[in-house]
Structure 1
Amino acid sequence: MQCSGYWLSAAALLLLTVTGCNTEHLQAENLHLLPPDEQNSVLNQGMRALPRDCYEMLMASSGQARDGVYLIQPGDSPIVAYCSMQEGGWTVVQHITINSSVNFDRTWAEYKDGFGDVTGDHWLGNEHLHQLTRGPGRYKLGVKLVDQDAITKTGEYDPFLVEDESSAYRLRLGLFEGTAIDALTLDTENYLHDNQKFTTKDRDNDNYFQNCAKLEFQGVPGGGWWYDACAGANLNRRNVIYWQKDCNKERLCKYAWMMVRPSDTIKLIPSGDCKKDEL
C-alpha cells in the first residue's frame, strides 16, 4: 500500500505529512505508548529526517503543524510523542487526569521506558526525558494545571534537565515564572524537589525513612516522582494531583501536564481544558 501525502515548506527539514498510511513498518522505541488502532494518527511518519522535538517539528512546518502525535528523535532511536503545537511546540512528557484509569504505581523499568497512551494519560519515560533535555541546547519545563472550576494555572522552569540513569534521573531546575505556585524549587512546605533523584516503588532514592512512592492516600500509592521527604508536589498521584496550594486534597485539580521545549522560544499560552477526546 502506498501512502498519500503532501509536502509543506520547511525552514530546516523536509516534512511529509501522511494520512491513511500503512503502519506495519512504523518504527518507534516507545510504540507501546500508542495502541495499534491509533498508529494511523502519527502525522509525520513519512518524514525523511525526524525532528529532535516538537518545537523543531513546528519550525520545520513553518508553523503549520497541528496538535497530535509525531515521531521525534531526541536520541539514537525515534519515539512517539504528543505535540502541543497550538501552544507553541511543546513536547508533552506527562499527562494525568484525576482518578485516571491509567495506573501510575509503576516500577523503575516502567517509568524509565514510559507507560500509558500518548494521546491521553501517560508518562513518556525517564530515559526519553533525559535524552530530550541533555542538549545540545538548553530546555525548559512547562507545567499546566486545571482545577475543577476550569481555572488554568501554568508555570515554567528554565533551564530543565533530567540526568541519566546512573544518577537516578536526578532533577535539575532553573528559575521559575508563571501563575502557578513554584512547588518544585521553593521550599515553602519543607519539601524541595529540585536536585532530587527519582523514586519508584521498587527503587527508593528519597529522603524519607519509608519509600514515598509506596505511601497511600485513600488506598492509592504515590507513584514515581522526584521525592524529598516526601512531597509538596506530585503530578503522578492519580487520586489527588498535588501542587502545594494550587492542587491538593481540599482544592482538587482535574488535569495536569508536564511539557518540554527549547529555551528562548515563545512563552506558554494558557488555554482551556484539553481532554483526550479533544486531542
Structure 2
Amino acid sequence: MKYLRCLSPAVVLLLLSVTGLDMDHLQAENLNLLSPDEHKLVLNRGMRVLPRDCYEMLMASSGQARDGVYLIQPGDSPIVAYCAMQEGGWTVVQHITVNSSVNFDRTWAEYKKGFGFITGDHWLGNDYLHQLTRGPARYKLGIKLVDQDAVTKMGQYDPFLVEDEASAYRLRLGLFEGTTVDALTLDTENYLHDNQKFTTKDRDNDNYFQNCAKLEFQGVPGGGWWYDACAGANLNRRNVIYWQKDCNKERLCKYAWMMVRPSDTVKLIQSGDCKKDEL
C-alpha cells in the first residue's frame, strides 16, 4: 500500500475539497454503516491513495483535516470511519449513547463487520479493529466517557492490539494513563478484561458458567465484549454504560467512545523520497 507521505499538503487539501463526484463509485467494505444520503459526507472521497487511519490523514493535511467521515484503508479494502481530528487524529471504533436506538445485542458475524451508523452509535467491526492495530505502527486505545453532568473523562492504553478471528479477537493492552479509572487491566472488582477473548450472544468465550453477553439488566442483554466473568467494564450495554466507578447503575454516563491511533508520532510527509509512480 502506498502511503500519503508522498502527497504534498496542498494536494491533500485539494482532494479534501473535491465536490460533485459521482457517488455511485464510492467504494467501502462497510458502506452499509452510512445511509445513501450520508455518502456525500465522506470528506476525502476524491483521494486516489487512501490513508491507513485517521491520524495518517491528519498528518498528510498538515493538521487541517476536520472532524467527520473519511475513507481509510487499514487492510486490503477501503472502509468508512469517523475521524476525531480535533482531538489528534483518532479513528473512532465505537460510540454508544445510553438508551441508544442502535441495538448492541448482536451476533458474532455482526460484531465482526460492524453495525450501527458511522455518524452516530456504532461498532466499527472486530475485523477492522484487528487490521488497524496489527501494525506496522504500534497503536493505542483511547476511552472517552461523558457523565450526566457533562463531565468528561479520558483514558489511554498503550499499546493496544486486537488479535485475529482465529484467536477470537483476543484483547491485548499495555500501560494505562488518564482521568478514568483503569477498568480493563486493573483487577479492582475481580474482573480482568485484558487478554480476554471476545464473546457475543452466539459465541461464548468468557470465563463465566453462563454467556455474559446474554445476561440482562432491565431487560437489556450485555452485548458483545471482552468478558471475564463477567464485567467491570462494558461499553456495549446500551441501557447502562459500565466503567467501574466512573459509569454504572448509580453514576449514569450519557456517552462513551473507543478510539485508536498510532502510539508514536510518525512523520508521514517527507520530501524527496517519492517516485513518480507513487502519485
Superposition TM-score, scaled by structure 1 size: 0.90
Matches within 5 A, 1:233-272: 233-265=233-265
CA distance in structure 1 between the partners assigned to 2:20 and 2:31 by the alignment: 18
- CA-to-partner distance for each residue in 1:151-203, whole Å, 9 max, x for gaps? 00000000000000000000000000000000000000000000000000000
CA distance in structure 2 between the partners assigned to 1:12 and 1:127 by the alignment: 31
| Matching residue's letter, 2:9 | A
Instruction: Indicate the residue corresponding to 1:269 in structure 2.
Output: none
**Corresponding residue SS for 1:94:** strand
**Corresponding residue SS for 2:199:** coil
- CA-to-partner distance for each residue in 1:14-48, whole Å, 9 max, x for gaps? 86112343210100000011111100000001101
| Cα pair 1:160 1:174 within 8 Å, conserved | yes
Cα RMSD between the aligned structures? 1.5
CA distance in structure 1 between the partners assigned to 2:11 and 2:41 by the alignment: 24
Matched, 1:41 2:41: yes
- CA-to-partner distance for each residue in 1:110-149, whole Å, 9 max, x for gaps? 0000000000000000000000000001000000000000
Instruction: Indicate the residue corresponding to 2:19 in structure 1.
Output: 19
Q: List alignment gaps of at least 5 residues for structure 1.
A: 1-7, 267-279
Q: List alignment gaps of at least 5 residues for structure 2.
A: 1-6, 267-279
| Cα pair 1:33 1:117 within 8 Å, conserved | yes
CA distance in structure 1 between the partners assigned to 2:11 and 2:157 by the alignment: 27
Distance 1:55 1:12, change over 3 A: farther
Aligned residues: 259
Instruction: Indicate the residue corresponding to 1:104 in structure 2.
Output: 104
CA distance in structure 2 between the partners assigned to 1:11 and 1:261 by the alignment: 24
CA distance in structure 2 between the partners assigned to 1:25 and 1:205 by the alignment: 39
- CA-to-partner distance for each residue in 1:230-260, whole Å, 9 max, x for gaps? 0000000000000000000000000000000
Structure 1 segments of 4+ aligned residues over 3 angstroms from their partners: 11-15
Distance 1:108 1:61, change over 3 A: same
CA distance in structure 1 between the partners assigned to 2:14 and 2:259 by the alignment: 23
Matches within 5 A, 1:1-279: 9-10=8-9, 16-17=15-16, 18-265=18-265
Superposition TM-score, scaled by structure 2 size: 0.90
Deviation at 1:265, TM superposition (A): 3.8
Higher relative helix content? 2
Deviation at 1:82, TM superposition (A): 0.2
CA distance in structure 2 between the partners assigned to 1:154 and 1:138 by the alignment: 20
